[in-house]
Amino acid sequence: MTEQQLSAPSRARSERSRSGIGHVDQQQSERFTVVGNHLAQHAELSLTAIGLATHIQSLPEGAPVGIKVLAAKFPEGEIRIAAALRELEAHGYLARARERMPSGRIVTRTTSYNVPLVGGVMEAEPVPTPEPVPERGDTAQELLASLRAHEPRLLLSVRDTHHLAPAVSAWLERGIAPDAVRRTLTAGLPAEPLRRPAAFLAHRLAELLPPLVPAAPEPSRPDPFQTCDGCERAYRAPRPGRCRDCAPLTAVA
């Protein structure tokens, strides 16, 4: 009889099936977050970015997600967390824009997307047009809409311009001329196609935001005139007392 031989490919397939991952899944009815495989198996995101996106998507509305807050929770540190946030922005899972509050304080508003932005628009159901942006919003939106005339790849939707307008307004409020903002956004673009121009602009607006110009110091005022308690001569001093000529005599006495 001919001895039966097992082929090597069959043996290899059997070993792979036994050494691969196994799953024990249980039904969860509370305290769970649905994460798409487009995120969990993303080929271009780092594991830090994937884990951070999962954590952010699990947070309740209004929870703080600043770099220092996240670094206080996890061991990666501020540098790695900041890099992971930039990854998520570049791939459409996160958007950050600076807004000026009624009190005048500038805050960063973060928006998390469980479905990434593609070309500035979510792949899910359509999103209603937001309300007009106050505080020079018209100028910011006009600037954003004009970018396509300088670089066709920076074609934005109406929703994109509303979403990015606060970040552009932050530049304008710091005294940056619209032409300078436009040059910053259109200069040195990567050679490859921009799949998500809105996410790219959000990242560039946040990373290149110039610092606030420090307020000019108030001019120093001279001390007020005082009347010397010794000779009744007028002299300048912060508080009443004796002039320089009378003060040594008082000390000697």
Two tokens at 164? 């990015």
Section 159-183 average pLDDT: 90
194-214: per-residue pLDDT in tens? 888 999 999 889 888 888 877
Q: Would you state the structure tokens that stand for residue 226, as one six-digit string?
A: 């005082």
**For residue 50, what pLDDT is reported?**
92
In a domain, 107, yes or no: no
**Residue 217 maps to a domain:** no
CB 145 within 8 A of CB 164: no
pLDDT for the residue 19:
67
- The count of domains in the chain is 2
Helix (H, G, I), strand (E, B) or coil at 106: strand
Residues 148 and 198 in one domain: yes
CA dihedral sign, ordered 99, 102, 106, 111: negative
Return the half-sphere exposure (C-beta side, CA atoms, 13 A cut-off) of residue 142. 7
Print the domain residue range for 133.
114-212
Q: Look at residue 243 and tell me if it is in a domain.
A: no
Do 133 and 206 sit in the same domain of this protein? yes
Residues above pLDDT 90, as percent of the chain? 12
Q: Is the pLDDT of residue 16 over 50?
A: yes
Residues 6+ apart with CB under 8 A from 52: 70, 81, 84, 85, 88
Which pair of tokens denotes residue 90?
A: 């570049």
Whole-number Å distance between alpha carbons of 124 and 34: 15
Does residue 81 sit in the same domain as residue 125? no
Task: Choose the final residue of a domain: 197, 212, 227.
Answer: 212
Q: Are both 118 and 207 inside the same structural domain?
A: yes
Say if 1 falls within a structural domain: no
**Backbone region of residue 104 per phi and psi (left: phi > 0; alpha: psi in -120 to 50; beta: other values):** left
pLDDT band at 132; cut points 50, 70, 90: very low
Residue 222 placed within a domain: no
pLDDT at 125 over 70: no
- CA 162, CA 141: separation in Å to the nearest integer? 7
54 and 141 housed in the same domain: no
For residue 132, the number of C-alpha atoms closer than 13 Å in the C-beta half-sphere is 7
Residues 60 and 119 in one domain: no
Assigned domain for 17 exists:
no
On whether both 190 and 142 belong to a single domain, the answer is yes
Strand 225-227 and strand 117-118: the pairing is unpaired
Q: Quote the distance between the C-alpha of residue 70 and its chain's center.
A: 13
Over residues 67-78, the mean pLDDT reads: 89
Q: What percentage of the chain exceeds 70 in pLDDT?
A: 80
pLDDT computed for residue 31 by the predictor: 82
Cα–Cα distance measured from residue 251 to residue 253, given in angstroms and rounded to the nearest whole number: 5
Could you count the other beta carbons within 10 Å of the beta carbon of residue 37?
7
**Which comes out higher in pLDDT, residue 168 or 243?**
168
- Domain-embedded: residue 163: yes
- pLDDT of 119 reads 47
180 plus 142 within the same structural domain: yes
User: Same domain for 118 and 208?
Assistant: yes
Residue 204 and residue 165 share a domain: yes
204-250 pLDDT, tens digit each:
898 888 888 776 666 778 888 777 777 777 778 888 888 888 766 54
Could you tell me if 125 and 41 lie in one domain?
Answer: no
Is residue 169 one of the residues assigned to a domain? yes
Do 73 and 145 lie in one domain? The reply is no
Closest CA relative to residue 97, chosen from 141, 155, 146, 47:
141
Cβ atoms of 63 and 110 closer than 8 Å = no
